[in-house]
Structure 1
Amino acid sequence: MDQAANPSAAIEWRVSPGLTDYTAALAEMEARAAAIAAGEAGELIWLVEHPPVYTAGTSADPAELIDPRFPVVSAGRGGRYTYHGPGQRVGYLMLDLTRRGRDVRHFVHSVEGWVIDALAELGIESFRAPGRIGIWTIDRAGHEAKIGAIGVRVRRWVTFHGFSVNLSPNLADFGGIVPCGIAEYPVTSAEMLGAPHNLATFDAALALTRDRFLERLSCARENET
């Protein structure tokens, strides 16, 4: 298959069933990213669901860990505290930016765009908010609310970590932290918006919009040349 016509052709697409332990996923991500950087493995997009866990980014403020009712794991990614749990789709992206443009800001912007496009396929309008990383929408009360988080790390120009999107998690579980350090805005989910979707339908939307995401990344590469 022509990779120019199908940008995702050479990228492994993996969907793990059930709940994947966060610490185990972190170790696997780091090993795969190192192997990609060494030219020993191909790129990977990995979709998982975790048991309840709080993860701490490199900028995590201990004061924002309000009630550590679940395990707390140092993630090594950028950002502050976030929550993962059942009903939330997490996407880990192990991509080589030496092939896709060495522009981390452009990468994050492209990931945001991918999630926004996928949610649109499900009838959920979402958007970026200036100064607030992540994916935002308008909740049923008419307020801005966060439906997705972005947290990435880049080592030797290979990315890992990625995004999380709230489909039907228990939103009360976010109450043990200040999510991503933003206390002024609530979190929401597809279910709370009155647009319930399961993991499979969201995965299908991600797959449908994946090539558009990869084409955006290629723009950074073109700008280098």
Structure 2
Amino acid sequence: MIPAPATWEVSEDFTDYNAALERMRQRVDDIRERGAPELVWLVEHPPLYTAGTSAKPEDLQDAARFPTYSAGRGGQWTYHGPGQRVAYVMLDLTRPHGTVPARDVRCYVAGLERWVIETLKEFGIKGEIREGRVGIWVVTPHGEDKIGAIGVRVSRWVSWHGLALNVNPDLGHFTGIIPCGIREHGVTSLHALGVKASMAEVDAALKRNWRKIFG
């Protein structure tokens, strides 16, 4: 029997970070133990900083600015806040999804990268990946800036956490951390690049391009 496609859900209000962690943990258990539908969950958080498993204390530059959380995902420090679309992806990786083969975390992460790159292409933005630098990057007149961050966790072959795409966040909020431990490059957003897309338009593009990568 062919499994049903992943369920999509968009939270309209800001999502508390601890509540998001708890919901993801529960859904991961439900997928693995009870065959619950997979989930792509789109949220916005209030301003906050999250620490991945490789986060360095010294990379938190302004601990008093916003609440901080231990995320339990891979990666280092990340900012989440209004104007940033966070996509939490809970998939059973024991089976293939579109172009992503079963039980291959590296290919799964590459699939998330391609998903963002294809989405940005709809808005005339060329997203790129860089060896040794996780995330999605764009070339700007002053160098390269990150527009999308990726941080995942896989628990007994079920994925959770996911990615964050900068639509129109306050980019000044990133100065409270060294994002992903990378000091020599900055951050950008669709709006900063002149693309005044709404969150709904970005969500629609994400859904269209999901099918190209994950089926």
Partner of 1:71: 67
Determine whether 1:38 maps to 2:33.
yes
CA apart distance, 1:210: 1.2
State the AA in 1 paired with 2:124. G
State the AA in 2 paired with 1:60. A
CA apart distance, 1:203: 0.5
Write the distance in 1 (CA, Å) between the matches of 2:135 and 2:117. 10
State the AA in 2 paired with 1:22. Y
Write the distance in 2 (CA, Å) between the matches of 1:46 and 1:203. 11
Give the TM-score taking structure 2 as reference length: 0.94
Write the distance in 2 (CA, Å) between the matches of 1:196 and 1:82. 23
Determine whether 1:155 maps to 2:151.
no
Determine whether 1:103 maps to 2:104.
yes
Partner of 2:47: 52
Determine whether 1:28 maps to 2:29.
no
Show structure 1 runs of 5+ residues with no match: 216-225
Deviations 1:70-114 (A, max 9, x none): 000000000000000000000000000001210111000000000
Deviations 1:167-220 (A, max 9, x none): 1000000000000000110000111111121210100101111111114xxxxx
What count of residue pairs does the alignment treat as equivalent?
209
Partner of 1:89: 85
Asked if 2 retains the 8 angstrom alpha-carbon contact of 1:138 and 1:145, the reply is yes
CA apart distance, 1:38: 0.6
Asked if 2 retains the 8 angstrom alpha-carbon contact of 1:122 and 1:205, the reply is no
Determine whether 1:16 maps to 2:16.
no
Partner of 2:203: 203
State the AA in 1 paired with 2:44. E
State the AA in 1 paired with 2:208. L
Write the distance in 2 (CA, Å) between the matches of 1:50 and 1:195. 22
Write the distance in 1 (CA, Å) between the matches of 2:198 and 2:37. 29
Superposition misfits of 4+ residues, deviation over 3 angstroms: none
Partner of 1:222: none
Instruction: Please provide the CA RMSD for this pair.
Output: 1.4
Partner of 1:122: 123
State the AA in 2 paired with 1:80. Q
State the AA in 1 paired with 2:93. L
Partner of 2:173: 173
Asked if 2 retains the 8 angstrom alpha-carbon contact of 1:14 and 1:44, the reply is yes
- Aligned pairs for 1:207-218 (under 5 A) are 207-215=207-215
Write the distance in 2 (CA, Å) between the matches of 1:61 and 1:37. 32
Aligned residues with identical type, % of pairs: 54
Partner of 2:187: 187
State the AA in 2 paired with 1:71. P
Write the distance in 2 (CA, Å) between the matches of 1:197 and 1:138. 19
Between stretches 14-23 and 73-82, larger displacement belongs to: 14-23
Residue 82 of structure 1: SS of its match in structure 2? Answer: strand
